[in-house]
Homo-oligomer: A and B are copies of this chain.
Amino acid sequence: MADLFSKPLDKPLFERMVIVGVGLIGSSLLRAARQRNLVKTLVAADCSADVCARVAEIGIADEIFQDANQAVRGADLVILCTPVGNIGTVAAEIAPHLRAGAILSDVGSVKASVVAAVQPHLSQDVHFVPAHPVAGTEYSGPDAGFSTLFSERWCILTPPEGSDPDAVKKLQEFWTEIGSNVEIMTPAHHDLVLAITSHVPHLIAYNIVGTAADLEEVTQSEVIKFSAGGFRDFTRIAASDPTMWRDIFLNNKEAVLEMLGRFNEDLAALQRMIRWGDGQGLSDLFTRTRAIRRSIIAQGQDAAAADFGRRGASGEKPQ
Q: Which residues of A contact B (CB under 8 A)?
A: 85, 109, 134-139, 144, 146, 148, 153-154, 156, 183, 189, 192-194, 196-215, 217-218, 220, 222-240, 242-243, 245-247, 249-250, 253, 256-257, 259-260, 262-264, 266-267, 270-271, 273-275, 277, 279, 282-283, 285-290, 292-296, 299, 301-303, 305-315, 317-319
- Sample of 14 more A-B contacts, CB < 8 Å, known A196-B218, A235-B296: A134-B229, A193-B222, A206-B285, A210-B285, A235-B292, A236-B302, A238-B293, A243-B283, A250-B282, A253-B277, A257-B275, A264-B264, A303-B310, A309-B310
Q: CB distance B257 to A225 under 8 Å?
A: no
- In Å, the complex CA distance between A208 and B309 comes to 22
**With contacts A211-B196, A289-B210 known, is A250 near B274, CB below 8 A?**
yes
**Distance in Å from the Cβ of A12 to the closest Cβ of chain B?**
23
Q: CB distance A270 to B203 under 8 Å?
A: yes
- In Å, the complex CA distance between A294 and B224 comes to 10
Count of chain copies? 2
Q: CB distance A306 to B138 under 8 Å?
A: yes
Q: A285 — which chain B residues lie within 8 A by C-beta?
A: 206, 210
**15 cross-chain CB contacts under 8 A:** A135-B228, A146-B306, A154-B225, A196-B208, A196-B231, A201-B234, A203-B270, A209-B292, A211-B266, A213-B292, A220-B295, A224-B295, A235-B289, A256-B274, A310-B314
Q: A153 — which chain B residues lie within 8 A by C-beta?
A: 228
**Distance in Å from the Cβ of A10 to the closest Cβ of chain B?**
27
Q: A242 — which chain B residues lie within 8 A by C-beta?
A: 282-283, 286-287, 290
